[in-house]
C-alpha cells in the first residue's frame, strides 16, 4: 500500500490503544487520505487474523463484515 502511494513510514510506536508514526509522503496526498489508507489496510489484516483465530477456537463463528456504504446507512 505505501509503496504504491510513495509513502514511507520512518518510525513508529504501537500502544495498546493507539499508534504513533512519523511518515514521509508527497505533499499532494492529504493527511486524512494517508490515515484512511493505513486504517483500511490494518483493519483488513486484523479482520483476517481475527477470523482465523475465531474459526479455530469457536467453530461456526462469523465476523460481521460490511463495506463503508452499508455501514453508513
Residue 57 has which C-alpha cell? 477456537
pLDDT tens by residue, 10-65: 999 988 888 899 999 999 989 998 888 888 888 888 777 777 666 666 565 555 55
Q: Give the pLDDT score at 55.
A: 64
Q: Give the pLDDT score at 70.
A: 47
DSSP 1: -
Where are the chain's structural domains? 2-71
Confidence of residue 72 (pLDDT cuts 50, 70, 90): very low
pLDDT at 4 over 90: no
Amino acid at each position: 500500500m505505501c509503496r504504491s502511494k510513495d509513502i514511507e513510514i520512518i518510525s513508529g510506536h504501537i500502544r495498546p490503544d493507539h499508534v504513533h508514526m512519523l511518515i514521509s509522503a508527497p505533499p499532494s496526498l492529504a493527511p486524512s487520505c494517508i490515515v484512511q489508507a493505513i486504517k483500511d489496510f490494518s483493519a483488513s489484516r486484523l479482520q483476517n487474523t481475527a477470523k482465523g483465530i475465531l474459526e479455530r477456537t469457536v467453530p461456526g463463528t462469523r465476523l460481521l463484515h460490511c463495506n463503508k456504504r452499508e455501514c453508513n446507512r
